Amino acid sequence: MGNCLGALVIAWTTCNPVAASADARAVDLVQHMLVALKSLDYDGIFVYQHADNLDTLRVIHRGSGRAESERIITLSGPRREIIREGNRVTVKLAADHAVLVEEHQPRESLGRGFTGSGQEFGARYRFQLENIDRVAGRSAQIVQITPETADRYSYRLWIDQASGLPLKSMIVDLDGQPLEQEQFATVTVGVPPSDEDFKSELLGSDFVWYVREETPVPEHAAGQRDNWRVAWLPTGFVQHRNLTRHLATSRLPVRHFVYSDGLATVSVFIEKLGGDASPLVGDSNLGAVNVFSRLIDHHQVTVVGEMPRTMVRQIAASVAPQTLE
């Protein structure tokens, strides 16, 4: 961390020593936030807004004493629960009487999925400290994160000055309009949750369980004779994962690529279609996340990214099979 911030300070001091200090402090604060998200115990009610939809949820997080775990319960709309214990994620859907269980690397519910170091952040985004605000009765430092190019979104974070926890976050489109935001209405920090707090309220013998373990699958077992490649990505996105996995919602193994620029993440799913499968084609979105699916050589290619729709479409257009020699 020290080396990353040192590089940023040196680069900025050359032209603007005041900006250098502010930028390094902003990056350092975001890094501290990422540690706080995983290591702290907290319990709170937060609201998630996208378009005209407003959802209220409770999040219970345990970061001390044992493996990190988290439980999210919807308080409005359909009854759902998400329970994460380490890499094991269980999703319970009351309306469908279904339980989905998968093993995969977790994405923080409140941390925007940031994965990068300070040096990676500084290469693609400008970080700025703004004013102090209050969220959920707590004092929060606002951090503005602005991309250097028009192929990704801006972010605003309200970070608790006492704990480092993100109390509010917002994703802003290229026109400066909020795409989605989430914020705590109430939150308690530092009180370890009990085992009772992690017991599900959605129980029933009629629930159908779909359990898939995330284990690498040989290419021939996936029914794929070709090696797939993603030929184009926005500058700065690098591959984080490349594997063939079982998904709880899919009968056949699915090829899965994950790319990130340190803040935004994009996934590419490639699934061989069975004889009776109906392919999905076209666009959809949820808040800042855009989805585009297309059909290629009896495979469905789906790109899911926290980036503008045009970028998601361009990535999907670059996916192609590459015949192995």
3-state SS, residue 97:
coil
Q: Which residue is associated with the tokens 């699915």?
A: 254
CB 130 within 8 A of CB 144: yes
- Quick one: how far is CA 91 from the chain centroid? 16
- Of 307, 263, 269, nearest to 104 by C-alpha is 269
User: How many Cβ atoms from other residues are within 10 Å of residue 269's Cβ?
Assistant: 21
Query: Could you give all domains of the chain from N- to C-terminal order, each with its CATH number?
Result: 2-198 (2.50.20.10), 215-323 (3.30.200.100)
Radius of gyration of the chain from Cα atoms?
21
Q: What percent of the chain has pLDDT over 70?
A: 74
Residue 11, pLDDT score: 32
Model confidence pLDDT, tens digit, residues 91-146: 877 766 566 766 655 455 565 556 655 556 657 899 999 999 999 999 999 999 99
* Cβ-proximal residues to 79 (8 Å cutoff; 6+ apart), any chain: 94, 95, 202
Token output for 262? 């340190």
pLDDT band at 211 (very low <50, low <70, confident <90, very high): low
Model confidence pLDDT, tens digit, residues 32-87: 998 999 999 999 999 999 878 899 999 999 998 778 899 999 999 988 898 888 87
3-state SS, residue 95:
coil
CB 302 within 8 A of CB 291: yes
pTM score, two decimals? Answer: 0.82
Whole-angstrom distance, CA of residue 323 vs CA of residue 123: 35
CB 32 within 8 A of CB 48: no
CB 241 within 8 A of CB 258: yes
Residue type, 32: H
Mean pLDDT of the chain: 81
Model confidence pLDDT, tens digit, residues 166-210: 999 999 999 999 999 999 999 999 999 998 999 888 766 666 656
Residues forming beta bridges with residue 154, ordered by sequence position: 172
Model confidence pLDDT, tens digit, residues 279-323: 788 999 988 999 999 999 889 999 999 999 999 999 999 999 976
CB 180 within 8 A of CB 168: no
Token output for 120? 């990676």
- Of 288, 245, 282, 284, nearest to 264 by C-alpha is 288
pLDDT band at 12 (very low <50, low <70, confident <90, very high): very low
